[in-house]
Amino acid sequence: METVSSVDKLESIKSFQSTIRKLENALSQMTQKGANTTLVKKRLKAVYIGLAILENVWNQKPHPYTQEDLAEARNVLTGLFPSIENMYAKSKAGSPQRTLLARRIKSLKLAVQAIDDLSNE
């Protein structure tokens, strides 16, 4: 995996934690409304795995995930890129939202790269 600065590592981990909070809140609200939560649960699991893999690579924290879990998470995380990149393209230059989306894109790319590296070991 490419060398990542301490600042980028911290921002990526914070970005994943923020994404997890948003997905957990969405899941809670959708569950209360009786809406279909399959997609949110799938994304939440993938984001948990992405965070765990980054913490594994950068901080040597163990993770309980199988190669199958990693492959599924990689597909889900990769599937998030088009919508996030679309939101990024529509956001105003210099806006807090654009900064947040840029960090989210970077953190997702790092997680996918880390999953690829682990899968090729």
pLDDT tens-digit series, residues 94-110: 999 999 999 999 999 99
CA distance 87 to 91: 6
Q: pTM of the entire structure?
A: 0.93
Give the model confidence (pLDDT) of 20-58 as tens digits. Answer: 999 999 999 999 999 999 999 999 999 999 999 999 999
Task: Answer for the pair 65, 50: CB distance below 8 angstroms, yes or no.
Answer: no
Whether 1 shows a pLDDT value over 70: the answer reads: no
Which has more confidence, 90 or 2?
A: 90
Position 77: which residue type?
A: L
- Looking at the domain covering 6-119, what would its CATH class be? mainly alpha
Indicate the domain borders of the chain: 6-119
Rounded mean pLDDT of 3-22? Answer: 95
CA distance 21 to 12: 14
Which pair of structure tokens corresponds to residue 72? Answer: 């599924």
Query: ∠ at Cα 101 (52, 114), nearest 5°?
Result: 30
- Judge residue 25's burial from the number of C-beta atoms within 10 Å of its C-beta, 0-12 exposed, 13-18 middle, 19 or more buried: exposed
Which has more confidence, 66 or 2?
A: 66
Task: Answer for the pair 13, 78: CB distance below 8 angstroms, yes or no.
Answer: no
Which pair of structure tokens corresponds to residue 69? Answer: 């879990």
| Model pLDDT, residue 121 | 73
- Average pLDDT of the residues of the chain: 95
Give the model confidence (pLDDT) of 77-91 as tens digits. Answer: 999 999 999 999 999
